[in-house]
């Protein structure tokens, strides 16, 4: 085949598409791929977690206020992640911060009176007084802002308070009063000096210990 005929045959087969493909191939091989990639427009939803390198999303890549509570796993934040000094006062605890006197509740005293001791939320006299009868003992306690204890309240303080001298005749009044049917007179329960429960006429003398509510 003559050279002239060969060149003419090649020209007869060249088209615009062939030329453009050849040029693009040369651009890619010559480093033009970087330019082409930089101008590439990525379609929507074409990049997923597989395409992201580990730790490739940094703080600077996240817009301000872009992360909300729904994006944080429950229980994942600890005290080390929170700036406690930046937190305000918890609304429910606002009144606690303004409590001027912890010994008052709603303006009422919340402490035991002088010469009393606190036992299970009640204040008991630390020393007993004498009374000629049950009524006098009850009135004396009322004047002080207290009342006579129940038999079990008084008996339960035996290990804390000295309930007597240990002698049976050293008795203390309680608030228990009852009358036997048909007899027409009243008796009460007393705790003797040895810590025993006894029955006694309400007009007989005994010692007494008053009890007071903690909040008055």
The alpha carbon of 129 is separated from its chain's Cα centroid by a whole number of angstroms, namely 45
108 pairs with which residues across the strands? 105
Q: Give residue-wise pLDDT tens across range 26-66.
A: 665 655 455 555 555 666 777 777 777 777 778 777 888 87
For domain 108-213, give the fold. Answer: Mannose-Binding Protein A; Chain A (3.10.100)
> Alpha-carbon dihedral of residues 51, 53, 54, 57, nearest 10 degrees?
-90
- N- to C-terminal Cα distance for the chain? 126
Helix or strand holding residue 34 (H, E): helix 33-38
CA distances to 22, 25, 36 from 31, in Å: 15, 10, 9
Cβ neighbours for 179, distance < 8 A, ≥ 6 positions apart: 185, 186, 187
Q: Give residue-wise pLDDT tens across range 101-146.
A: 556 655 656 789 899 999 988 999 988 999 999 999 999 999 999 9
Confidence of residue 5 (pLDDT cuts 50, 70, 90): low
Instruction: Report the pLDDT value the prediction gives residue 28, as an integer from 0 to 100.
Output: 59
Q: Which residue, among 134, 139, 138, has the nearest Cα to 171 in the 3D structure?
A: 134
Q: Where are the domains of the chain?
A: 3-38, 108-213
Residue 14 above 70 pLDDT?
A: no
Q: What percent of the chain has pLDDT over 90?
A: 28
């Amino acid at each position: 085949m003559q050279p002239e005929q060969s060149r003419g045959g090649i020209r007869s087969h060249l088209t615009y598409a062939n030329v453009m493909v050849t040029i693009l191939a040369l651009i890619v091989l010559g480093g033009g791929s970087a330019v082409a990639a930089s101008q590439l427009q990525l379609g929507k939803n074409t990049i997923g977690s597989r395409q992201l390198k580990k730790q490739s999303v940094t703080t600077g890549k996240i817009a301000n206020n872009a992360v909300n509570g729904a994006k944080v796993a429950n229980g994942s934040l600890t005290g080390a992640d929170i700036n406690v000094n930046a937190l305000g006062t918890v609304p429910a605890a606002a009144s606690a911060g303004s409590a001027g006197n912890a010994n008052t509740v709603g303006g009422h005293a919340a402490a035991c009176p002088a010469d009393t001791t606190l036992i299970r939320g009640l204040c008991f006299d630390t020393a007993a007084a004498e009374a000629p009868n049950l009524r006098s003992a009850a009135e004396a306690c009322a004047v002080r802002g207290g009342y006579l204890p129940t038999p079990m309240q008084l008996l339960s303080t035996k290990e804390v308070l000295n309930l007597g001298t240990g002698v049976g005749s050293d008795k203390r009044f309680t608030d228990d009063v009852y009358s036997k049917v048909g007899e027409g007179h009243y008796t009460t329960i007393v705790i003797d000096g040895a810590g025993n429960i006894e029955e006694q006429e309400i007009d007989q003398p005994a010692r007494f210990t008053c009890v007071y509510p903690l909040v008055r």
